[in-house]
Amino acid sequence: MTLFGSQSTVQYATNGTTVKYSSVNFGSAATGFAASVGLQNPTAGGQIVLHLDSTSGPVIGTLYTNTGAYQTVSTSLTNASGVHDLYLTRVGGGTISAVAWLQVK
């Protein structure tokens, strides 16, 4: 399931920035998550942590953003099933200049 594609709704996410996607359907058991991200400073690294239902909810995966301009990063998901709000939180690293797409697998 693609949460969005072709146009970014996330721009200039810095450390601590959180984005919420409401009512994401993970089906009976989603196993992976991928995103196309671009970093303002590709050597800065950092993470995007995926939480269910709140910013302090269970962590279901972590994307490591040690990439350059628009590369795909992915992670496996744990305990992701049913319909939940999905929170993506930027932790450390440089500024994400944009996210091209997100996909639950």
Burial zone of 93 (CB within 10 Å; 0-12 exposed, 13-18 middle, 19+ buried):
buried
Supply the mean pLDDT for the chain: 86
pLDDT at 45: 79
Tell me how far the alpha carbon of residue 13 is from its chain's centroid.
11
Check residues 11 and 56 and name the one with the higher pLDDT: 56
Question: 6-48, pLDDT tens digit by residue?
Answer: 455 677 888 999 989 899 999 999 999 999 888 877 667 789 9
- On whether the CB atoms of residues 48 and 89 are closer than 8 A, the answer is yes
The C-alpha angle 51, 97, 87, rounded to 5 degrees, equals: 10
- Span 69-82, average pLDDT: 91
Q: Which CATH superfamily is 2-104 part of?
A: Galactose-binding domain-like (2.60.120.260)
Separation CA 94–CA 1 (nearest Å) = 28
**Domain locations in the chain as residue ranges:** 2-104
Q: How far apart, in whole angstroms, are the C-alpha atoms of residue 76 and residue 71?
A: 17
For residue 7, the SS3 value is: coil
Residue 7 CA to chain centroid, in angstroms? 15
C-alpha count within 13 angstroms, C-beta hemisphere, residue 1: 14
